[in-house]
Structure 1
């Protein structure tokens, strides 16, 4: 499979096509794709999703995709790397947390986002701003960043809450999404709080999670939180104090301990 590689932290592409000339491919970056006009099919990891004007897709590096264009389509892309996320995010914001959550919530990558009319209008305006910056993107990275954060907040705000289901794989997907959403709020990740959310008991949820995930609930939370913290520290853009405050940690030594794994 072809893999497209991007060196620049962020790139913008606005183009119109009557036929799709790229093979099924993946990337080394993330892609926010806006359908400005047109319709057709979007193939993502072997599944097919109909697209139309106003739709938004978020793809991670490993998702393989291609388009099948039925009517002339205008695409607007924001392509960005992990470097872009963490060199821009010097101050933790709800937008950064929303973006990290969207990146982890893989079910949205495979289906795109369903937005109400008011948000579709706002998203259209945001992508118009993004498109206007494509010839000067290197000098306008901070402006692009604010647009990405605004999009992340809007997109997360339209996601349904995943609830436990009758199938273990759906149960686990719901649990992972819950953890990723509340990773910045330690009290929400206590076994008794999660058990109440999923209508079970603290004595059951821990063994259930370990049986299906292969690690304990506490270890998964620790590993995921530690990975996010390491990315912030490696960027050099965050103070230990700000990281501790963002993740609800008691002090800077706790931050260092989690980052060390």
Structure 2
């Protein structure tokens, strides 16, 4: 078992070669870009099992739970960071919008081949810079990470100007989850009728479709998505409850407090304390 581990402020680079290895289930408190340079095995992410292979890339966010088991020699590269690693708050807000929609479907990121090669080269360059500590290596790592994340955002973004088209072309679970993510702060656009209209299907069908593919109701998925973003904001910042509620489209503080209590059984203040603990 060979390991390399480099720690910076709000950022870690971690590489490991494993021949026969099982990583127990654990919860993340940071963002992580995970690149499988080579190897095969099983990755369980948020209770969904995926068979990983060479050149797979995963993007994990705070709150994700996962475990690994290799079936052949595998090399992992992990780039872990907290929001403080980036100076631009808008970039962090964009990253938060990615959250775990892809973890409920394919698990791994879907990136076109040309861009995938570029992302892989950037990741390996970050590993190289971390290992050799050349002049201005920390600044270069920051810029390289910025480029990697912009490419990830390219494939996680939703183009609201694209025509809806036929249901058979547009009605894909990834498209539905992207739409929800893009409109998480707009309750009107998250109504079942609004989502059904967006994809040219009936309200009953959109509910059945999501239930079939995610094994969870549309309403519950939206609630979990909001809770995920609330958890991130309360953990990673000093925002007030009013600020968090306003950012996520709650009408007022009472609605926000009721939503937290409904989903956790405790008050927002108690919930924030448990997160800190």
Match for 1:157 among 154, 161, 167? 154
Q: Residue 64 of structure 1 corresponds to which residue in structure 2?
A: 68
Displacement of 1:93 after TM fit? Answer: 3.0
Match of 1:229, SS state, is: helix
Counting matched residue pairs gives 232
Contact 1:91 1:238 in 2 (8 A): no
1:106 paired with 2:110, answer no
| 1:100-126 superposed Cα distances (whole Å, 9 cap, x missing partner) | 534342256644543342453255335
The aligned runs of 1:140-179 (5 Å cut-off) are 151-158=148-155, 175-176=176-177, 178-179=179-180
Sort the Cα spacing of 1:214 and 1:146 in 2 relative to 1 into closer, same or farther, 3 A: same
The aligned runs of 1:34-49 (5 Å cut-off) are 34-35=35-36, 39-45=38-44, 47-49=50-52
| 1:186-221 superposed Cα distances (whole Å, 9 cap, x missing partner) | 34312222012332234x257647976898745653
Mapped partners of 2:50, 2:191: distance in 1: 36
Contact 1:11 1:79 in 2 (8 A): yes
Q: Which runs of 5+ in 2 are unaligned?
A: 1-8, 159-165, 263-277
Displacement of 1:98 after TM fit? Answer: 3.6
RMSD: 4.8
Match for 2:122 among 121, 125, 138? 125
Mapped partners of 1:109, 1:24: distance in 2: 20
Match of 1:237, SS state, is: coil
Higher normalized contact order (CA 8 Å, seq sep 6+, divided by chain length): 1
Q: Residue 239 of structure 2 corresponds to which residue in structure 1?
A: 238
Mapped partners of 1:221, 1:199: distance in 2: 20
Contact 1:92 1:246 in 2 (8 A): no
Q: Which runs of 5+ in 1 are unaligned?
A: 1-7
Match of 2:21, SS state, is: coil
Contact 2:10 2:85 in 1 (8 A): no
Give TM-score scaled by structure 2 length: 0.57
Mapped partners of 2:39, 2:216: distance in 1: 41
Contact 1:99 1:149 in 2 (8 A): no
Mapped partners of 1:145, 1:253: distance in 2: 40
Mapped partners of 2:118, 2:144: distance in 1: 14
Contact 2:96 2:229 in 1 (8 A): no
Sort the Cα spacing of 1:89 and 1:12 in 2 relative to 1 into closer, same or farther, 3 A: closer
Sort the Cα spacing of 1:238 and 1:160 in 2 relative to 1 into closer, same or farther, 3 A: closer
Displacement of 1:174 after TM fit? Answer: 6.2
Displacement of 1:232 after TM fit? Answer: 1.6
Mapped partners of 2:228, 2:185: distance in 1: 13
Match of 2:100, SS state, is: helix
Match of 1:158, SS state, is: helix
Give TM-score scaled by structure 1 length: 0.59
Match for 1:50 among 43, 46, 53? 53
Q: Residue 19 of structure 2 corresponds to which residue in structure 1?
A: 20
